[in-house]
C-alpha cells in the first residue's frame, strides 16, 4: 500500500460540497503511487467522478489538500498540472485531422516542429493508428476515436493520465478489447493512471488497486483479488462480483471464526471478517462459485437442503437459483461437468460451503 513517503498523488482530508450543505465527497484520504493504475469504482453519485475532477483541476476542494509529487495543486489551473485526460465523449476537435488533434497539446507547450512530428508518430504507433493520421474523427469508428483520444492524452508525456468512463459508449466486445489495450499501454509506459468507472468487471480486469466509493466515502482500497476474496463490508461484497447474502445474528466468536444464527437455516459457521460482538446482527457473504453441490456427507461444516427453482445454461457453467435457508434467490454457479446438466427445476439437492468461504461482515 502506498504511503506518505512515496505517494505520487495524495488526497488529504478532502471534502467537497456544491451547495454548502450536502457533502458529495467526505473526509477522503488516498495515496496513489507513481506508475500505479488505480481505479475509482462506485455507483452513480458516489463521489468518484467529483474526486477525479478535483485532481484534474476542474473542481476545487471545499476542504483539504491534493498533492502531486509533494506539491499542493489545489489552486493550480488544469493546464499547468501536466495531466492527460480521456473522456467518454472523446472530446476530439471534429474539424481537425487525427494528427492535428494530437499536435494541439504539443503546440500549446511550444514544442518544435520536428519534435511534434516525432511525438505524434510515436503516439499513433502506440495505439496502432499510424495509417490514420490524415483522417478526421468523423471518418473513424468509435473504437478508433477512443484510441485517438488516448493517444492525445499521452502524446505530451504527462506525469499523470486521468480517464473518466472512457469506454462507456463502446459495445461490449470492443469495450473488452480496449480494456486490454489500455492495460498493456499502461504496462509499457509505466505512466500513473487514475481511471473512473461504475463497471466492476472493467475495474477488476485493468487495475493494480481499486478504490470502492459509496456515498462520498471510500469503502475499501485494495488489489482486485483482495477486494473480491476479502471484502471488508457488505457494500463492497455486493458491489464487486455476484454475491449471496444471508442475514443473521452472531451467537459465538471463536478467534477468526464465528457462529451465526440465520432464520430458516439455524447455525452457520463463518469467517469473522467484520463482526462487533455476540448478539449483534451480521451479513454473511458467499460467492456463488464457492457453493458445492451434493458434497460427501460430513465433508463441509455448512450443509443444507435446497430446492432448485431455475437453471440457466451458460456454456461453461450452469447458473442455478435455489430456495435455501429461507431465501428464494440464492445463486449457485456449477461447472459444466458430467451429471450437472441432468438437474431439473423442482429437484431437491444438498448444498454446502467451507467456513472460510462464508464471510461475516457488518450488519448493514
Report pLDDT digits (tens) over 84-123: 999 877 788 999 999 999 999 898 888 899 999 999 999 9
Rounded Cα distance, 120 and 37, in Å: 24
Rounded Cα distance, 147 and 164, in Å: 14
Burial zone of 199 (CB within 10 Å; 0-12 exposed, 13-18 middle, 19+ buried): middle
For residue 243, give the C-alpha cell.
454475491
Give residue 338's pLDDT: 62
CATH of 7-234, one of 3.40.50.620, 3.40.50.300, 3.60.21.10, 3.30.565.10: 3.40.50.300
Give residue 251's pLDDT: 96
Residue 357's closest CA among 299, 291, 306? 291
Please give the backbone phi and psi of residue 32, each rounded to the nearest 5 degrees, phi first.
-120, 125
332 touches 322 (CB < 8 A): yes
Give residue 175's pLDDT: 85
Give residue 350's pLDDT: 93
171 touches 163 (CB < 8 A): no
In a 13 Å sphere around the CA of 256, the CA atoms on its Cβ side amount to: 4
248 touches 77 (CB < 8 A): no
Which residues, given as ranges, of the chain have pLDDT below 70?
A: 1-5, 338-341, 364
Give residue 65's pLDDT: 96
Residue 146's closest CA among 212, 90, 64? 90
Place of cell 493520465: 161
CATH of 242-361, one of 1.10.510.10, 2.40.50.100, 3.40.50.300, 2.40.37.10: 2.40.50.100
Alpha-carbon separation of residue 89 from 121, 162, 165, 202 (angstroms): 24, 14, 9, 18
Domain borders along the chain are 7-234, 242-361
Report pLDDT digits (tens) over 21-59: 999 999 999 999 999 999 999 999 999 999 999 999 999
For residue 189, give the C-alpha cell.
509506459
Q: What angle do CA 287, 274, 289 make, to 5 degrees?
A: 5
Give residue 167's pLDDT: 86
Q: What percentage of residues in the chain have a pLDDT greater than 90?
A: 69
Burial zone of 270 (CB within 10 Å; 0-12 exposed, 13-18 middle, 19+ buried): buried
Amino acid at each position: 500500500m502506498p504511503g506518505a513517503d512515496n505517494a505520487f498523488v495524495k488526497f488529504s482530508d478532502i471534502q467537497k460540497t456544491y451547495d454548502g450543505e450536502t457533502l458529495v465527497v467526505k473526509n477522503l484520504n488516498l495515496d496513489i503511487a507513481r506508475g500505479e493504475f488505480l481505479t475509482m469504482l462506485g455507483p452513480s453519485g458516489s463521489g468518484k467522478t467529483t474526486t477525479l475532477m478535483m485532481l484534474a483541476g476542474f473542481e476545487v476542494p471545499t476542504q483539504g489538500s491534493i498533492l502531486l509529487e509533494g506539491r499542493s495543486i489545489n489552486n493550480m489551473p488544469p493546464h499547468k498540472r501536466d495531466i492527460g485526460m480521456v473522456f467518454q465523449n472523446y472530446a476530439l476537435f471534429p474539424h481537425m485531422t487525427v494528427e492535428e488533434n494530437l499536435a494541439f497539446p504539443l503546440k500549446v507547450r511550444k514544442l518544435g516542429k520536428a519534435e511534434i512530428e516525432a511525438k505524434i508518430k510515436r503516439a499513433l504507433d502506440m495505439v496502432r493508428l499510424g495509417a490514420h493520421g490524415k483522417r478526421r474523427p468523423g471518418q473513424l469508428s468509435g473504437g478508433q476515436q477512443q484510441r485517438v483520444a488516448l493517444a492525445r492524452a499521452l502524446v505530451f508525456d504527462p506525469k499523470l493520465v486521468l480517464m473518466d468512463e472512457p469506454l462507456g459508449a463502446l459495445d461490449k466486445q470492443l469495450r473488452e478489447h480496449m480494456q486490454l489495450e489500455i492495460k498493456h499501454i499502461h504496462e509499457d509506459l509505466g505512466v500513473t493512471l487514475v481511471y473512473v468507472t461504475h463497471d466492476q468487471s472493467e475495474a477488476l480486469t485493468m487495475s493494480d488497486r481499486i478504490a470502492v466509493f459509496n456515498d462520498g466515502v471510500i469503502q475499501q482500497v485494495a488489489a482486485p483479488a483482495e477486494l473480491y476474496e476479502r471484502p471488508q463490508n457488505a457494500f463492497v461484497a455486493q458491489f464487486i462480483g455476484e454475491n449471496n447474502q444471508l442475514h443473521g445474528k452472531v451467537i459465538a466468536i471463536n478467534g477468526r471464526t464465528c457462529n451465526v444464527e440465520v432464520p430458516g437455516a439455524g447455525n452457520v459457521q463463518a469467517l469473522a471478517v467484520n463482526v462487533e460482538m455476540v448478539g449483534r446482527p451480521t451479513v454473511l457473504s458467499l460467492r456463488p462459485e464457492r457453493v458445492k453441490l451434493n458434497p460427501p456427507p460430513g465433508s463441509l461444516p455448512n450443509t443444507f437442503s435446497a430446492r432448485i427453482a431455475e437453471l440457466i445454461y451458460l456454456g461453461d457453467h450452469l447458473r442455478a437459483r435455489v430456495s435455501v435457508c429461507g431465501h428464494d434467490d440464492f445463486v449457485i454457479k456449477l461447472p459444466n461437468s458430467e451429471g450437472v446438466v441432468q438437474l431439473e427445476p423442482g429437484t431437491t439437492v444438498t448444498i454446502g460451503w467451507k467456513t472460510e468461504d462464508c464471510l461475516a461482515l457488518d450488519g448493514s
